């Protein structure tokens, strides 16, 4: 099982795109995305210093563009990815690149969205003096309790021993003076308290733009930052991309889903290293590949070949699949059960997946006619496993 991941803000370093621009195809594609984003990505990826590319409005389009173009270098024909990629995920803004990778958004839609995301988050950060602090080590429960005690938010939960606290500068100063035992605190050079309520103005801006964006349902599993669940409705993916700006990133739950999928290989798009580093600590025995420079492309393709397997949900668009959001036990529930030929109304619950942690309803966002149940009552199911095949009704999307 191959999972492809895209890093978030903070992964960028000065000049990281320079070796990639030696390829004329990469350079011309970057010029196109620069035109869409309205900023000179080639300049910022090769000539700009660390302080300049730390700017949220620059860093975010730069990161998404680099992930998208490196993925095209690995998979020159985008549909090739669906024959090998078991799942995709992105950390924070990297989730926009992941959404493109599974077919929810086009590259152009993503660049407009990330352009406005970066601008809106930068504007929101100017309203109050806020920041973020990494908390390394310490007892997890004590760390989370101390963060809450000081009125902060665990904005990034990246797995064992790595949590990022966010809030006002004053709150972080008090936290620094009274932090959790046996933990190391590292202030981060960021413009604001991302993934907290301080970013709510940006959510409002993006929500407005999202109303005009057309989406497609994912063609491979997309693991959501919000809760590690598999999301297989394009509109829901977009909704989550908007809301995640002010909601914590649960990368720990994303990695748990990867473990539930029995991932064997994780390929990180450039600027790579952060997410594969976390995976090495949290997912023992899983092979990782950090793609940083184009001279690694042949090895990256060999890595894909080694770990890849076809997507279970890359189906014909004339059929609509409903998939399991998580690992658990499948049931059609206690109410009226739908059989082959029955009509399912939009938004109707057609199944339930139960685990030790949750019990989640599986809804049919667009409705349809039941063509075939793909699992039996009481079957164990994996994240993203197809449960039922529906045929769209006349007039449905």
Active site residues: 92, 195
Q: Which residue has the tokens 């990180």?
A: 268
> How many whole angstroms separate alpha carbon 118 and alpha carbon 337?
45
Tokens found for residue 124: 């929101």
List strand residue ranges (DSSP E) for 210-327, in order.
Answer: 221-222, 265-268, 287-290, 320-323
> How many whole angstroms separate alpha carbon 235 and alpha carbon 252?
24
> How many whole angstroms separate alpha carbon 311 and alpha carbon 314?
6
CA distances from residue 29 to 42, 85, 107, 201 in whole angstroms, order as listed = 10, 23, 11, 32
Cα atoms in the 13 Å half-sphere on the side-chain side of 297: 14
> How many whole angstroms separate alpha carbon 319 and alpha carbon 322?
10
DSSP string, 116-167: HHHHHHHHHHTTS-EEEEEEEES-HHHHHHHHHHTT-EEEEE-STTEEEEEE
Q: Which residues contact 178 (CB under 8 A, 6 or more apart)?
A: 146, 150
Report the SS3 class of residue 49.
coil
Residue 259, classified by CB atoms within 10 Å of its CB into exposed (0-12), middle (13-18) or buried (19+), is middle
Cα atoms in the 13 Å half-sphere on the side-chain side of 91: 27
> How many whole angstroms separate alpha carbon 186 and alpha carbon 183?
10
Q: Which residue has the tokens 């993925």?
A: 71
CB of 78 closer than 8 Å to CB of 72: yes
> How many whole angstroms separate alpha carbon 91 and alpha carbon 352?
28
Q: Is the Cα dihedral 51, 53, 58, 60 positive or negative?
A: negative
């Amino acid at each position: 099982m191959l999972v492809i991941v895209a890093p978030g803000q903070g992964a960028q370093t000065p000049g990281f795109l320079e070796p990639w621009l030696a390829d004329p195809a990469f350079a011309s594609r970057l010029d196109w995305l620069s035109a869409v984003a309205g900023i000179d990505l080639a300049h910022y990826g090769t000539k700009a210093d660390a302080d300049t590319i730390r700017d949220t409005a620059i860093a975010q389009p730069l990161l998404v563009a680099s992930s998208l173009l490196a993925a095209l270098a690995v998979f020159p024909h985008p549909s090739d990815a669906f024959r090998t990629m078991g799942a995709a995920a992105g950390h924070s803004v990297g989730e926009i690149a992941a959404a493109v990778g599974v077919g929810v958004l086009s590259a152009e839609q993503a660049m407009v969205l990330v352009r406005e995301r970066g601008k809106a988050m930068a504007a929101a950060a100017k309203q109050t003096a806020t920041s973020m602090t990494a908390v390394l080590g310490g007892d997890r429960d004590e760390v989370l309790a101390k963060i809450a005690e000081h009125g902060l938010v665990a904005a990034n939960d990246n797995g064992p021993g790595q949590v990022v606290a966010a809030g006002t500068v004053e709150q972080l100063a008090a936290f620094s003076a009274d932090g959790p035992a046996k933990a190391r605190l590292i202030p981060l050079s960021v413009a604001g308290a991302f993934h907290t309520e301080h970013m709510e103005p940006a959510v409002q801006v993006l929500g407005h733009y999202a109303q005009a964006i057309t989406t497609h349902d994912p063609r491979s599993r997309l693991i959501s930052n919000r809760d590690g669940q598999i999301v297989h409705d394009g509109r829901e993916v977009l909704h989550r991309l908007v809301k995640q700006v002010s909601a914590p990133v649960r990368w720990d739950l994303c990695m748990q889903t990867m473990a539930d999928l029995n991932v064997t290989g994780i390929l990180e798009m450039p600027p790579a290293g952060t997410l594969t580093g976390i995976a090495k600590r949290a997912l023992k025995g899983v092979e990782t590949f950090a793609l940083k420079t184009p001279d690694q492309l042949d090895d990256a393709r060999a890595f894909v070949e080694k770990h890849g397997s076809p997507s279970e949900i890359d189906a014909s668009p004339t059929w609509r699949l409903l998939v399991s959001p998580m690992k658990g036990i499948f049931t059609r529930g206690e109410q009226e059960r739908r059989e082959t030929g029955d009509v399912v109304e939009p938004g109707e619950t057609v199944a339930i997946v139960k685990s030790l942690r949750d019990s989640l309803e599986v809804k049919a966002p667009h409705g349809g006619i039941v063509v075939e149940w793909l699992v039996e009552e009481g079957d164990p199911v994996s994240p993203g496993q197809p449960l039922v095949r529906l045929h769209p009704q006349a007039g449905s999307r």
